[in-house]
Every structure is written in structure tokens, then in C-alpha cells.
């Protein structure tokens, strides 16, 4: 079957032809694999040269990142250093040169490492249609209407407040068995606002809300984090796949969360 590729100057034009047998293509690291495997569910690829896809703009402590910005570009950008480690953990150099931050939001398990980090950072999505939505709402609704993410906005975390850990069997560029990302503010020596997100512990990146509540106001030491660790797999549905069993993921999730939390105390 032949595939037709259509290119549009604006994302709005591109989004109008989506649906049915047309798929939007960004870096193509996942979509071209489908093409090569002979996926028959689409016969049109839609792309856009809209410059907004490549913008990186800051307003105060908020940064707007175009959905077409690649992992390599994130690693090199001085204002995106807080995401540098996350971007570096995605695939190898060839993948990072193509893989976009926007495409990562749609990447199925075991992918979506950047999406997990952005969930902990409470990112917002800006769609080509002009609508806005939190990443959390988007991830909760798998039936989301087909549109194109134009950009992602995120608040730059205070130094040291954001931590990320990817666990994989193959280093340095294996896919994740699980990922964990934490955004944690301190107030008078105790934990203030906390967001904890796991990848690999549910079909989509998911917040560990019971663990967040248990950590609120706690001291960041072995005894202070006990309740948080005990609650961190609540509401999760870990994958049971060739990388690891769901039992194993449930066992190790608190271990890695503990490492991440105590690194910082
Ligand atoms: C060898 C290999 C290793 C990989 N390793 C990792 C890894 O370690 N961690 C990881 O997280 N991922 C990994 N990936 C998966 C993938 O490379 C990344 O998730 C990447 O960020 C996907 O982005 P893309 O631009 O290539 O998406 P594409 O392949 O272009 O698109 C993927 C899907 O997202 C949709 N899409 C893309 N952009 C948008 C947008 N702006 N708005 C709406 N829909 C959109 C497309 O329509 C398509 O359905 C790997 C892939 C490969 C092939």
C-alpha cells in the first residue's frame, strides 16, 4: 500500500485533515516503524512546518516548549536543563535527534519517559484548535479527540526540586521497566507541595496520589517517608510483560522512590 505525505504551513491546516486514514507525523520514530511493519490503519501522513512547533519561550518562570522540539534540542537548551536528564534517557543519539516532546505524550508503554516527567511537573498542553488542557486530564482520557499538540507549558522548578529516575535492564539506552519523577518543595525543613508520577506502573504515566498525600508535611528521612513508600503503588496497574512482572514492579517501585527521595535530604 502506498502512503501519501501531506505538508502544511500551519498546524491548524494540518489538524483539519486528521482522522480517518490520516495520521500526524512528528519525529516519526514510532510512526515510521508502523509504516515499515505494513500497518494498514492509515494511508496518509500529515506533517507541518509551522515554526511554533520549534519555539522555546519563557515568560517568568513558565516555559513554552513547541511540540516538535526534539530530545537532543532539550538537552542543549540552557533553560531546559531541568529536563536534560530526562531527554538523555530516551533511546540512543539517533532516536533523540528525531524523537519529539510532543510525540512522547502519545507513546505507549514502555515508552513515555518524558510524559512521566512532565506529569510530575504539572505541564499543560496547548492544542492547535486553541484549547488548553492539563497533561493529567489528557492522560486520563484515552478517547481524546484527534488534534495536534502545538506546545507544552511547564513551570521551571526551583533548583533541586525536581528529580527523575529511569530503571531499565539495558544501559544506557534500554526502554524503561519503570520511571519515577518527583517534584517536591520544602517548607521550613518539611515537605511542602509534592507531585509523584510513575511510568510503567499503569497503561499511561500516573500520579501516585496516596503517596503524595502521605509525604505532605513529612520529614525527608527514613522514618518520615515510610507512609509515602507504603502507599506508592495504591491505584497502580503495573505492566506484566517481557521486561518484568507486575509483582516485580510493585516490589521495586517503593525502593526506587525511596532512593530518589533520600538522595535529596
Ligand atoms: C529504538 C527506539 C528506542 C526508544 N526509546 C525510548 C525511550 O527510551 N523512552 C521513550 O520515552 N521513548 C522511546 N522511544 C519511543 C519514541 O522514540 C519516543 O517516545 C518519541 O518521543 C516519540 O516521538 P516522535 O516525534 O518520534 O513521534 P511519532 O512517531 O512522529 O508519532 C507517534 C504518535 O504520536 C502522535 N503525535 C506526535 N506528535 C504529536 C503532536 N504534536 N500532537 C498530536 N499527536 C502527535 C502521532 O500521530 C503518532 O500517533 C523509542 C523508540 C525507538 C524506535
Q: Are residues 193 and 120 in the same domain?
A: no
What pTM, to 2 d.p., does this model score? 0.96
Task: Count up the domains in the chain and report the number.
Answer: 3
Please determine, for residue 265, whether its predicted confidence score (pLDDT) is greater than 50: no
pLDDT single digits (tens) 208-235: 999 999 999 999 999 999 999 999 999 9
Give the pLDDT mean for 114-134. 96
Q: Are residues 146 and 170 in the same domain?
A: no
Cβ of 104 less than 6 Å from ligand 1 = yes
pLDDT single digits (tens) 138-151: 999 865 557 999 99
Q: So what's the pLDDT on residue 145?
A: 57
pLDDT band at residue 153 under the 50/70/90 scheme = very high
Q: Which three cell numbers stand for residue 130?
A: 486553541
Looking at 105, 121, 155, the residue that finishes a domain is: 155
pLDDT single digits (tens) 57-80: 998 899 999 999 999 999 999 999
Q: Are residues 31 and 67 in the same domain?
A: no
CB 154 within 8 A of CB 69: no
Cβ of 27 less than 6 Å from ligand 1 = yes
CATH number of the domain to which 181 belongs: 3.30.390.50
Looking at 155, 183, 216, the residue that finishes a domain is: 155
Eight-class DSSP state of 19: B
- Domain range enclosing 28: 4-48
Helices (H) and strands (E) in the chain, counts: 11, 12
Strands 44-48 and 56-59, by their bridges, are unpaired
Cβ of 149 less than 6 Å from ligand 1 = yes
CA of 100 to the centre of ligand 1 (A): 6
CB 196 within 8 A of CB 257: yes
Amino acid at each position: 500500500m502506498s502512503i501519501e505525505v501531506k505538508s502544511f504551513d500551519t498546524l491548524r491546516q494540518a489538524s483539519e485533515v486528521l482522522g480517518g486514514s490520516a495520521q500526524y507525523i512528528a519525529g516519526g520514530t514510532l510512526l515510521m516503524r508502523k509504516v515499515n511493519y505494513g500497518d494498514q490503519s492509515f494511508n496518509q501522513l500529515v506533517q507541518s512546518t509551522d515554526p511554533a512547533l520549534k519555539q522555546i519561550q519563557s515568560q517568568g518562570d513558565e516555559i513554552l516548549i513547541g511540540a516538535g522540539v526534539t530530545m537532543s534540542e532539550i538537552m542543549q537548551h540552557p533553560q531546559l536543563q531541568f529536563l536534560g536528564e530526562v531527554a538523555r534517557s530516551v533511546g540512543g543519539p539517533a532516536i533523540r535527534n528525531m524523537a519529539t516532546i510532543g510525540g512522547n505524550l502519545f507513546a505507549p508503554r514502555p515508552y513515555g519517559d518524558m510524559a512521566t516527567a512532565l506529569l510530575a511537573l504539572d505541564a499543560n498542553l496547548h492544542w492547535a484548535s486553541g484549547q488548553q488542557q492539563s497533561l493529567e486530564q489528557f492522560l486520563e482520557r484515552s478517547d481524546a479527540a484527534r488534534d495536534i499538540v502545538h506546545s507544552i507549558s511547564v513551570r521551571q522548578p526551583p533548583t533541586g526540586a525536581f528529580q527523575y529516575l529511569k530503571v531499565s535492564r539495558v544501559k544506557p539506552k534500554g526502554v524503561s521497566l519503570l520511571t519515577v519523577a518527583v517534584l517536591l518543595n520544602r517548607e521550613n525543613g518539611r515537605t511542602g507541595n509534592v507531585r509523584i508520577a510513575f511510568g510503567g506502573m499503569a497503561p499511561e504515566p500516573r500520579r501516585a496520589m496516596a503517596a503524595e498525600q502521605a509525604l505532605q508535611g513529612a520529614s525527608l528521612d527514613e522514618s518520615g517517608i515510610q507512609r509515602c513508600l507504603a502507599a506508592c503503588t495504591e491505584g497502580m496497574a503495573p505492566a506484566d510483560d517481557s521486561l518484568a512482572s507486575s509483582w516485580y514492579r510493585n516490589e521495586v517501585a517503593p525502593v526506587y522512590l525511596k532512593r530518589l527521595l533520600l538522595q535529596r535530604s
